[in-house]
Amino acid sequence: MAPYIGTATSRVDGIAKVTGAARYAAEHNTPGLLFGSVVGSTITKGRITRIDRGAALRVNGVIDVLTHEHRPQMADSDEAYRDEVAPDGSPFRPLYDDKIRFSGQPVALVVAETSETARSAASLVRVDYEREAHLTDVYRQRGTAAPVPSGGMFGPPKSRGNAEQALAAAAVRQEGEYYVPIEHHNPMELYGSTAIVEADGKLTVYDKTQGVQNVHKYLCGIFGMQPKEVRVMSPFMGGGFGSGLRPQFEVVLAVLAARALRRSVRVVLTRPQMYALGYRPAMIQHIALGANAGGTLEAITHDAITVTSQYEDFYRQETGWSGLLYKCPNARYAHKLARLDLPTSCDMRAPSAATAVYALEAAMDELAVALKLDPLDLRLRCYSDRDQNDDRSFSSKALRECYKQGAAAFGWEKRSPQPRSQRDDSELVGWGMATGIWEALQAPIAVRIVLSANGHAEVSCATSDIGTGTYTVMAQVAADVLGLPLDNISIKLGDSSLPQSPVEGGSWIATSVANAISTTADAVRDELLRLAKQVPHSPLADAAPDEVLLADGKLVSKRDATGAVAIADAMRQGGRDRVEQERTANPTLDESRAHNTHAAIFAEVKVDEELGVIRVTRVVSAVAAGRILNTKTGSSQILGGVVWGIGMALHEETLLDHKLGRIVNANYAEYHVPSNADVQDIKVIFVDEPDDSNRLGMKGLGEIGIVGVAAAIANAVYHATGKRVRDLPITLDKLRR
Ligand code: MOS
């Protein structure tokens, strides 16, 4: 068995991170660096009639003020601005024209010798506007929301049976409308970009992004640059969660200024300005469940409205999770999009599932109450061994085992069914549970391995490590497949000049890159074997490639361990000091089967009824996600997801003043995320789930951790209090209403 895969290996980049040696996008310095400060629109919709740059330009140390009227050439076609993950529509173009599409839209960039000067002078830029009426309230746009096209990657799946009829005929019906507000990603690291003009005139751009090659292609498109003229780097990232899948405006502004002034420029957004990037779309959903008295589902209808901008149609497959998760012969899905005067919404950790499964799992809890069944018992009665949306089996599905192990670790069997029946001193105690589901995806990706005669290997790929542990799992896989100690592996990533990678998202990178490392290591082995065969009296003279593996710095015959040739000897024989191979690995998923990860989440809350305060005192998350490469970074992924689920259930909400169309809590003081005091006992369990969909049996872990957590907590709040709050977050005012 492989020595590193599956172990709790500490982050290989951990020391660099805690000592500050790891530098982030806004930490790269160069002589003569200038600083840009963004001026954001104070209106929500309309046009700029005049920009007075005079006062800002007169400030000592200010170099220039860029606006749509005063800037270098940019592309004119939508195509040029359409990045690799852009939705349909006409992408936003920073400082392009006089139109205002959302509050906080960048309208000018003040460039100065210091960041303080730039920021101060930015307050002196005078912008006159012509206002138009705006709409930012999804509830007011309900009537005009338009259906999204069904099918495809993101449209609702095909409905089955006759859900309305089955619902009408069902013995027990449960209907409800659930709401999840707009939420923002709030990564610790601010969005920033340092565009360095090199001596030869080329640009090196350190940008905060989940996809360096996506940003690279985008910059080439909008500035008409040749690929060789610019290199985009993002070796470290302080949290992305989806907000860095698409290029953000800071990188456009930094490059625009660097090109205008032929000097290196850094642009860093402020925390409030981060709220002018994307967000998790608000979602109004109506779910109806019909069941027979025995507790099996007869019908599901799921109607969703999500929000997007006026210029792009961002949506995900929101509704189909409902009919995928539980056995149900009749299912109908509908999804409409409300266009608001906001920036385009975007992916945020487990996009669509985090919100849709919240509603489904809260509705299932309500159905369990109506049926007088234990919530876990109901899930087991409705358990589905097939993906009914596409009528296929799962490559693996150990959800039953998640329920079993999670319930045992939590002590679920001791739950008293009646709401308000469990107490701890003066507090009400509630126990709730929910199911989580996500996809196990793969994407084409390339890896280069350079193996030196001294037994050191450099493994490179343009992927990011958004904090998930990509460096570490890449090193673990490479060490195992090359048969080398972990310390002999160095990983290079986050550089657009490295072998091709998609954006890091969708929980697809670890699986994809691990496959590519294995595939490329095979090519390294094959080349080494060719060399080893030429060694005089080679014990591997007749060995076929698949009869040989790399172990302890040697090529070893699988049939006869004494038949080995040292890598160094093989290379010496061929007059080489290294072997270099690059391969692209394509997805290996068999589309005749469904590929999903699952989780069972059990939560305990304690509610002080006098004050309305809710505390999440215990969470157990049991996860089935195929082979877990690293139990330490893997657990961290799930812990982070659970913490965010606590935020989603109880704290997080982007609040708009609809009269102004502005976000009023664009800061850490008023946009509440869980703090240490909100996070208590969280236990992560990985259940065994053998899967043969790819070489290592992996599924990916980045997103499954959040799905279902908010529902488990909401259900626990109901169990504690007898009060069902369907609108997230469950704040004390709603509980006491
Ligand atoms: Mo993820 S929301 O695909 O970064």
How remote is the CA of residue 504 from the centroid of ligand 1, in Å? Answer: 7
pLDDT, residue 560, reads 86
Q: How do residues 150-199 score in pLDDT, each as one tens digit?
A: 888 899 999 999 999 999 999 999 999 999 999 999 999 999 999 999 99
pLDDT of 2 strictly over 80: no
* For range 513-538, the mean pLDDT: 97
Q: How do residues 226-284 score in pLDDT, each as one tens digit?
A: 999 999 999 999 999 999 999 999 999 999 999 999 999 999 999 999 999 999 999 99
Strand partners, 556: 549, 564
Nearest CA-CA partner of 16 in 472, 461, 459: 472
How remote is the CA of residue 210 from the centroid of ligand 1, in Å? Answer: 9
SS3 content of the chain, % helix, strand, coil (to 5): 30, 30, 45
Lowest mean pLDDT among 622-626, 642-646, 663-667, 732-736: 732-736
**Ligand 1 binding pocket mutation candidate from 154, 346, 703, 707 (most atoms within 8 A of CB):** 703
Q: Which residues are catalytic?
A: 703
**Ligand 1 binding pocket mutation candidate from 208, 245, 280, 345 (most atoms within 8 A of CB):** 245
3-state secondary structure of 545: helix
Name the band, by pLDDT with cuts 50, 70 and 90, for residue 1.
very low
Contact 255, 188 (CB under 8 A): no
pLDDT of 517 strictly over 90: yes
Q: How do residues 448-489 score in pLDDT, each as one tens digit?
A: 999 999 999 999 999 999 999 999 999 999 999 999 999 999
* Tokens (6 digits) for 382: 């409705």
Protein residue with least CA distance to atom 3, ligand 1? 505
**Ligand 1 binding pocket mutation candidate from 153, 243, 349, 438 (most atoms within 8 A of CB):** 349
- Ligand 1 neighbours by CB, cut-off 6 Å: 210, 240-242, 245, 347-349, 351, 505-506
Q: How do residues 370-384 score in pLDDT, each as one tens digit?
A: 999 999 999 999 999
pLDDT, residue 736, reads 80
Average pLDDT of every residue of the chain: 97
Q: Ligand 1 atom closest to Cα of 346?
A: 2
Protein residue with least CA distance to atom 4, ligand 1? 242
Percent share of the chain, pLDDT over 90: 97
How remote is the CA of residue 258 from the centroid of ligand 1, in Å? Answer: 30
How remote is the CA of residue 191 from the centroid of ligand 1, in Å? Answer: 16
Burial of 201 (0-12, 13-18, 19+ CB in 10 A): exposed
Q: How do residues 650-680 score in pLDDT, each as one tens digit?
A: 999 999 999 999 999 999 999 999 999 999 9
Nearest CA-CA partner of 339 in 85, 90, 131: 90
Distance CA 474, CA 9 (A): 12
* For range 439-452, the mean pLDDT: 98
Q: Ligand 1 atom closest to Cα of 242?
A: 4
Distance CA 213, CA 225 (A): 14
The size of the chain, in residues, is 737
Q: How do residues 48-66 score in pLDDT, each as one tens digit?
A: 999 999 999 999 999 999 9
Q: How do residues 544-585 score in pLDDT, each as one tens digit?
A: 999 999 999 999 999 988 889 999 999 999 999 999 999 999
How remote is the CA of residue 355 from the centroid of ligand 1, in Å? Answer: 14
Q: Ligand 1 atom closest to Cα of 348?
A: 2
3-state secondary structure 259-316: HHHCCCEEEECCHHHHCCCCCECCEEEEEEEEECCCCCEEEEEEEEEEEECCCEECCC
* Tokens (6 digits) for 587: 């997805």
Amino acid at 529: L
pTM score > 0.85 for this model? yes
**Dmax of the chain from CA atoms?**
85
3-state secondary structure of 530: helix
